Amino acid sequence: MKYVKIALYCLLAVFIMARACPAQEQEKSNSQKRAERIMALEERFAAASQEGKTIKGVLIEGNSLFNGTVDIRTKPYGKPYTEAELKNALRSAERNSKVFLITKDGTLYYPTVKQGEADSESMGGYRFERMISYDQKDRKVLPWATLTPLVGREIEVLGIVYPGYGCVKGLYIEAVKFEGEYIRGQGK
Amino acid sequence: MATKKIISMKSIFYTVVSLVWIFGLSAIGHITMVLIEKNNPAIKYDFAWWCAIVGILALYSTRWMKSDGWQSFTGCLAGLSVWFAMEYSLMYGGHDMGVTYTWNGSYPEYRLMKWTYMLFIIVFLYLLYQESVRCNLIFYLRRKLRLMRGAIATGKIDNYGPRTFFEYVMVTWAFYVLLMIGYDENLFGMYSWYIYTLFFVSFSLFFYLTYKLLGYDRFGANLRYAIPTVTILWNDVEVLSKWGMLKEPWVHINWPIMSVIIGGFVISTYLIVKDLRTKKQGMIEVKDITMKDN
């Protein structure tokens, strides 16, 4: 019985070592790769922003927009909802109703995955890279964001625009930037 | 359940080491998941399967362990491993079904976990009536609610491994469900009376449980009772983070703080292993429940 126990421990040790060693090596290179990728993304974002190639718009919840429950045309840009409407819009968005981006000139964008990805998921489950300042980095602000908490707020997007359908354009989001906290009151 | 003893320097040492070890284990578990998500999310489901396999094998290995200390130690690690797999399975489910993040920041996997509350109630009801269960809380409920027809459970426990494993999983599950119900803005919300109550009850219970923990002076019992003690404190950590008053070092990858936690974990692991190896002939508790305790 003693040998069975020893054998079992050896087996466990082999399993753990086999998984842990390559993972550690890979983690380092992946970590470096990620840092490089983020740096390149930050540079591209800054350059695109300076050239006016990023898209600035307000995130709008789709159901209330398309069924006319909320008429954003009567609202000032950047303040599409009243407090009560915002509450409903946020709740609908977290229940997976679609979220759109509307710019100051009224162009409507449908956030989507990269062209060619036939098998995809709801955009509400995606984390997007968030462009944060050095000060925010020091304050350990989350380097990513999702769309739902940002409904009703203005964001700046680096991405690829697709022709879409009708008047609605497709938008593949590479990175987002926005003022204030990702989650209100949580310092994130 | 171990027999209660007088508080001594020895019991204080065992309590502190157990608390540090369980806290470190939870923190390291969290940062592992965060690092995988950040650096190599492609491996996360493979990692989950390996965690499940290693956890089940570790649990199986307790069959050959003679001391309740080793059984509890291994059972705890097995519980954490399988809980990893559980969280990743919900993550996969959330991804597969397109579950979104909530507007107050809750993750899809935890939104799914919230709706396991009825399953949790079913399991808890079973435990409540399962005569061989020796959990203090369940004993208390049995007595107060007059649930048992005969005498409460007594007798020898041969293997604490599976019990510790199950305790780790159940305690973690219970507190996640309680928190997620509270965070749901459609039910209570993160600034509701429910969350405030949970915060203050958890804070108070942590001290009460630590006081009770001081009555045990062996790593078997201490480790087992440190699980709910630390996990109940973890509620407060989670709530403070949700309120924006605390930046969890394992979520925001604060290496200076994490180094201290990892250091504490390594030292406590060394002390536990050293102690358990010294007491090779550690006995399994025979008199598990004494009526005078109740």
pLDDT digits (tens, 9 = 90+) for B178-215: 999 999 988 999 999 999 999 999 999 999 999 999 98
pLDDT at residue B283 greater than cutoff 70: no
Is residue A152 one of the residues assigned to a domain? yes
pLDDT of residue A14: 59
Cross-chain CB nearest to A125 (options B38, B100, B247): B100
Interface contact A19-B185, CB threshold 8 A: no
Distance between CA B152 and CA B143 in Å, rounded?
9
User: What residues in A contact B74, CB-CB < 8 Å?
Assistant: none
Q: What is the pLDDT of residue A140?
A: 79
Residue A127 counted as domain residue: yes
Domain hosting residue A154, numbered range: 54-177
User: Residue B240 pLDDT more than 90?
Assistant: yes
Distance from CA of A125 to the nearest CA of B (A): 4
Identify whether A138 is part of a domain.
yes
B interface test, pick of A81, A146, A150 with most B CB neighbours within 10 Å? A146
**Secondary structure string (H, E, C) spanning chain B:** CCCCCCCCHHHHHHHHHHHHHHHHHHHHHHHHHHHHHHHCHHHHHHHHHHHHHHHHHHHHHHHHCCCHHHHHHHHHHHHHHHHHHHHHHHHHHHHHHCCCCCCCCCCHHHHHHHCCHHHHHHHHHHHHHCCCCCCHHHHHHHHHHCCCCCCCCCCCCCCCHHHHHHHHHHHHHHHHHHHHHHHCCCCCCCCCHHHHHHHHHHHHHHHHHHHHHCCCCCHHHHHHHHHHHHHHHHHHHHHHHHCCCCCCCCCCCCHHHHHHHHHHHHHHHHHHHHHHHHCCCCCCCCCCCCHHHC
Q: Please answer whether residues A99 and A123 qualify as being in contact, where contact means their C-beta atoms are separated by less than 8 angstroms.
A: yes
> Is 80 exceeded by the pLDDT of residue A8?
no
Q: What is the pLDDT of residue A72?
A: 85
Side-chain-side CA neighbours of A66 within 13 Å: the count stands at 11
Other CB atoms closer than 10 Å to residue B281's CB: what's the count? 7
Contact B105 A182 (CB under 8 A): yes
Residue B73 structure tokens:
């130690």
Looking at chain A, the number of H-run helices and the number of E-run strands are 4, 7
B197 versus B293: which is more confidently predicted?
B197
Give me chain B's average pLDDT, please: 89
Total number of domains in chain A:
1
Q: What percent of chain B has pLDDT over 90?
A: 68
Residue A112 lies inside a defined structural domain of this protein? yes
What confidence tier does B165 reach under pLDDT thresholds 50, 70, 90? Answer: very high
* Residue A168 maps to a domain: yes
- The verdict on residue A46 lying in a domain is no
Residue A61 has pLDDT above 50, yes or no: yes
Report CB contact under 8 Å: B38, A122.
Answer: no
In a domain, A74, yes or no: yes
Average pLDDT for A96-122: 92
The verdict on a CB contact (< 8 Å) between A125 and B104 is no
pTM of the model: 0.83
In a domain, A107, yes or no: yes
| CA dist list (Å): B162 to A2, B115, B269 | 20, 26, 20
For A15, which of B54, B96, B100 is closest by C-beta distance? B54
What's the mean pLDDT in B105-122?
94
Interface check A1 vs B, CB under 8 A: yes
Q: Does the beta-carbon distance from A96 to B185 stay under 8 Å?
A: no
Distance of residue B183 Cα from the nearest chain A Cα, in angstroms? 13
Bridge partners for A112 per DSSP: A172
Residues A65-104 pLDDT 10s? 999 998 888 888 889 999 999 999 999 999 999 999 999 9
From the list A4, A26, A96, the residue facing B100 with the nearest CB is A96
Q: Does A27 touch chain B (CB under 8 A)?
A: yes
